[in-house]
Amino acid sequence: MRFIIVLLSILFIGQSCFAQKLYQRFADAEMKRFPEAWQLDHGKRLYFGYGQGLACLAMLKVWEATQDQKYFDYVEKWADTVIRNDGNIHLYKLETYNIDYINPGKILFPLYEKTKKEKYKIAIETLMGQLKWHPRTHEGGYWHKLIYPHQIWLDGVYMAAPFVAQYGQFTGDTQYYDDAVNHVLLTAKHTFDVKSGLYYHAWDESKNQMWANKTTGQSPNFWGRSIGWYFMAMLDVLDYIPENHKGRAEIVQLIQNLAASLQKYQDKDGLWWQVIDKQRAPKNYQEASVNAMFLYSYAKAMNKGYIGKDYEKLTNKLLKGIQNKLLIKDVGNTLTLIQCNAVAGLGGTPYRDGGYEYYVNERIRENDAKANGPFIMGCIEFNK
C-alpha cells in the first residue's frame, strides 16, 4: 500500500514538473518559430493584432514566472515598434470600431508599469477612447465590430472586458468595473442555453442576421473556442474587480456553472471537440485552442478558489490528452500544437452561417496563437 502511495506521488510530481518545464519550453519554441513577435500567429506584417496580443500576454506571464528578461524584451520589442513615439498605434483605425483591437492593449499595462514609457499610456487611452464611443446594444453591450451591428460575440467579451476592468484599476475609476461586469453578464443573459448548459457563439439583438434564431437572436451552434474565450474572459475580469463589487458573485456563479456543464462534454481521452456537443460527428475534431483555453480556465479557477479541487482529475486528464494527441515534436525537436482552427466567425463576405458544416470545414493549421498562448498560460496555472 505504501509503495502505491509513493508511486502515485512520483507520478503526480512528474506531471507537475513536466508542466513547469513545458510552459517555458513551449515559449522558447514560439520564439524560435517566430523570432519577431509580429510573426506570432503566422503574421505577415507589423500589426497590432489580437493574436499577437494574446501570445505576448502569455510571454509576459512566462517572464513573471521565471524572471527571465528575454521574454519581456521579446514583447517590448514588438510593442516599441507597433506603438510610435507619439503614442499612435501602427495601422490602427478607430473608425472601424473593431473590438479585436482592444485585446493587445492588455500588454501595455505591465509594459508601462515597468518602463514608464509615456507612449504606452497614450496608447492605453486611445483604446479606451474607442470604447467610450464604441457602438453598443440597448443594454450597453459592445458590438463586435461596426460591420457586425447589434451583435455580441463571446470572442469579443475576452477582447474587451478584462481590458476595461484593468483600466478601472489603472485609473481608480469604478465605473469601468461596472461596465466590464455588465458586458459579461449581458452576454450570459443572451447567449446561454439552459438545456445544454453551454453558450452559443453569438447573439444578434436585431435578429436580422441569417444565422440568428428569429425568436432568440442566438447563433445555431456551440463553437468550442468561443466558449473558451468566454470562460477565460470571466476569470480575467475578476482579477481586477473588487471583492465587494455587487456583480462579482454573479460572475463566480457563472464560472462554477460552466465548469460543471462542460464536464458532460469532455471525451474519455480528456479532450473537447470543435463543435462541443457533437462528439465524433462527421468531420468534427478535437481542436487545440478550446482545449488550451479550458486548461487555463479550469486550472486558474481552482487556483483562485472559484471552483473546488475536485476538478483536479478533469484538469490532469485534459493536460494528458493534449500531450498525447495535440502536442508533437517537429523535425527540430521543437514543440508544436496541431489541429488548431485558424479562424471562425459569423456573417461577412463570403457569408458565414454558423452552421455545423461551417465550423468543421474552416481551415486547420499548426501553432495558432489562439491555441499556443492559452496553452502556455494554462501550463503556468497548472503548475501552481
Q: Supply the residues annotated as catalytic.
A: 155
Q: Report which DSSP code applies to 95.
A: G
- The residues near 115 (Cβ < 8 Å, ≥ 6 apart) are 76
Report the alpha-carbon angle 373-379-384, nearest 5. Answer: 135
Exposure string (b/e) for 197-207, b if CB count within 10 Å is 16 or more? bbbbbbbbbee
Torsion of CA 151, 346, 355, 198, to 10 degrees: -50
Find the farthest-apart pair of alpha carbons in the chain and give their distance in angstroms, rounded: 67
Q: Report yes or no: 301 and 311 within 8 Å, Cβ to Cβ.
A: yes
CA distance 105 to 165: 12
Nearest to 216 by CA among 192, 184, 236, 252: 192
